[in-house]
């Protein structure tokens, strides 16, 4: 449940801050929030793999966009762009994560984050701001990959502490 909450909070905060501060905030969000979402998505993939993964992820992505819009009606275009970008990225992520199934978890997470970050980085700003803004696309991509890696280390550490009973 914690990963669902983290996922939703990150989506909503990312959408609302981009709405408030514009395209350049997307790069900061990419590191802080979207890297978290990409990594949490893989945790949820493992948890939901044989329990309606696709409808649950679709509902989660839609919930993030709807919550963003409900909290700020000016976030409509950002919320729609977020939904489309996350849906496309989630599809790529799920396929790559599944194909990397025999590799260690950290490699599957980070290996699937790279292509899904690329898809999200192209789709989101193009739809949200109505143009292909290559500096934003490049900045977002790099920030998502680095942010996703950082979050994978945090989650790995939490998993180790949980296993040893330290949490």
Q: Let me know: does 42 contact 97? Beta carbons within 8 Å.
A: yes
Question: Domain map of the chain by residue range?
Answer: 2-164
Q: Let me know: does 137 contact 24? Beta carbons within 8 Å.
A: no
How big is the chain, counted in residues? 167
DSSP for 3-53, written as a single string: HHHHHHHHHHHHHHHHHHH-TTHHHHHIIIIIHHHHHHHHHHHHHHTTTTH
Q: Structure pTM?
A: 0.86
Find the mean pLDDT for residues 63-68. 97
Find the mean pLDDT for residues 48-68. 91
Report residue 21's pLDDT band, with 50, 70 and 90 as the boundaries: very high
Check residue 164 and give its pLDDT.
64
Q: Number of helices (H) and strands (E), helices first, in the chain?
A: 7, 0
Statement: residue 165 has pLDDT above 70: no
């Amino acid at each position: 449940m914690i990963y669902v909450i983290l996922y939703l909070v990150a989506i909503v905060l990312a959408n609302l801050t981009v709405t408030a501060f514009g395209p350049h905030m997307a790069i900061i969000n990419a590191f802080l929030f979207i890297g978290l979402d990409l990594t949490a998505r893989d945790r949820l993939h493992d948890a939901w793999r044989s329990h309606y993964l696709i409808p649950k992820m679709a509902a989660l992505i839609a919930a993030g966009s709807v919550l963003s819009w409900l909290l700020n009606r000016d976030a409509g275009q950002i919320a729609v762009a977020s939904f489309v970008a996350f849906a496309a990225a989630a599809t790529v992520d799920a396929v790559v994560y599944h194909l990397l199934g025999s590799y260690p978890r950290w490699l599957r997470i980070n290996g699937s984050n790279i292509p899904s970050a690329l898809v999200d980085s192209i789709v989101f700003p193009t739809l949200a701001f109505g143009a292909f803004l290559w500096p934003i696309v490049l900045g977002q991509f790099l920030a998502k990959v680095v942010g996703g890696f950082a979050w994978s280390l945090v989650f790995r550490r939490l998993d180790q502490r949980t296993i040893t009973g330290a949490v």
